[in-house]
Copies of this chain bind each other. A is one copy, B any other.
Amino acid sequence: MNIEELYKGILEGNRRALAKSISAIEDQHPKCEELMSRVYKHTGRAHIIGVTGPPGAGKSTLVDKMAKEFRDRGRTIGIVAVDPTSPFTGGAILGDRIRMSGLSTDKHIFIRSMGTRGHLGGLARATSDVIRLMDAFGKDVVIVETVGAGQSEVDIVENAHTTVVVEMPGLGDDIQAIKAGLFEIANIFVINKSDMEGCDRSVREIQIMLEMSPKSPDEWEVPVLKASARDNTGIKELTDTIDRHYEYLKQNNLLEELKYKSLKYNFQEILKEKLMDFSFDESRKEDQNILKSLKSGKIDPYTAAENVISRFKVEKK
């Protein structure tokens, strides 16, 4: 892996360099850190849009339609389709999707899917790096699409400037719980599959929940839109609203704040990982002994962690 070549390739907008770099990130190649460290200063220009919601809501189709609409407005697009529940990656599922959506013929759209590939923990971190790569590559808009309802997608949207939560007309009680969880992160709600029964009721329910949370007068008012990706309705309005949210962020100096928040978040995640690598190493005798004591029940996990930390404390004196 030639870092210099990949680095230059990305800045020059070379698609192969981008694809190779993303694969290296997924493989956790040790040289990625150097690449990312250099790439970072060329980031910060793209509008990062998170799209999330429960399974079955039709996020993929909606994202495809959004991408087409953005293209009609002259913007270049990167799409990162993250599936925290899938062990597949790189293209196994995505291949069909690209072929179906017809986006593959447009060289200004770059799509990449990411699955867990066995190391769930690193998915949010890897996604963040891939977003930065697409940003540095020159994409105007980077859409991060993620399935699910849980912590992983909250971690993933940590990098987004605008978060779109996609719902579908009512599915029962459990869905209500999901809505509650997604309320804090949504800048825009879309009820997709608006031709289905119960769409207007779902819109009203979400609006009522939104009205319940207190709000300052100049705060962004979360809109609840209707769309049907299949029938291509509501896509223009959605894209308009996304643009309007971006303008709102810029005019209220919130974009810089969001960017810093995400930088800090990424820094902390990277630091955590580095600290672990640095302070605990199973190939070292002393660390093997800690694990042995843990296994035999001689010490508990809290005491074991304190034992590791105490080494540093002594050194700091």
- Name A residues whose Cβ lies closer than 8 Å to a Cβ of B: 33, 36-37, 40-41, 44, 54-57, 83-88, 93, 116, 120-121, 123-124, 147-155, 171-172, 174-175, 177-178, 180-184, 260, 263-264, 266-268, 270-272, 274-276, 278-280, 291, 294-295, 297, 300-306, 308-309, 312-313, 315-316
Contact = CB atoms under 8 A, between A and B. Distances in A.
A106 B56 CA distance: 38
12 contacts: A40-B300, A40-B302, A55-B174, A85-B177, A87-B180, A88-B180, A120-B154, A147-B149, A151-B152, A264-B291, A266-B301, A312-B312
A181 B116 contact: yes
A294 B267 contact: yes
Contact of A279 (B83, B180, B275, B301): B275
State the main secondary structure of chain A at its contact with B. Answer: helix
A295 B260 contact: yes
Contacts of A308: 271, 274-275
B151 A295 contact: no
Contacts of A280: 268, 271
A59 to B, nearest CB: 8
B86 A278 contact: no
Contacts of A182: 85
A96 to B, nearest CB: 10
